[in-house]
Amino acid sequence: MTKTSLGSHPFLLGFEQLERLVERTAKAGNDGYPPYNIEQSGQRSYRITLAVAGFAEEDLSITVEDRQLVVRGRQAEEAGERVFLYRGIAARQFQRSFVLADGVEVAGATMENGLLHVDLKQVQPDTVVQTIEINRT
């Protein structure tokens, strides 16, 4: 029995990148930190909200790399010597990735009350009709 991959199906010509995209998403291996929500805020708009309590705006970076939204957080080391009897607030760096579909763009980001909101919008592509001429041989 042979394994047929998604990209090799005869009706899916040119979709090999989709299979690579699924593999890349599965390998992201996010450990659940920081927790996040994804909500639909309009007919063609979305909002990703990450709980980043304890992080300042300058500790966070948001980039889009090859259709992948990447949010990174790194807190500066505290200079003072503090002795914790119990440390339940996470103070670690993180990287959270989200794969964006074609036509989805980042509209902006805001931070309020320890929550980072990343707003996304889906751009409606123009419909293109192409007529192909049949050549005689």
Give the whole-angstrom CA distance, residue 115 versus residue 118: 10
Residue 51 near residue 36 (C-beta atoms within 8 A): yes
Give the pLDDT band (50/70/90) at residue 117. Answer: very high
Coil vs helix vs strand at 37: strand
Domain at 31-78+85-122: CATH architecture: Sandwich (2.60)
Torsion, Cα of 77, 81, 85, 86 (10° steps): -10
Domain definitions of the chain by residue range: 1-30, 31-78+85-122
pTM of structure: 0.71
Q: pLDDT tens across 47-101, in order?
A: 999 999 889 999 999 999 888 999 999 977 666 777 889 888 767 899 999 989 8
Q: Which pLDDT score is estimated for 107?
A: 96
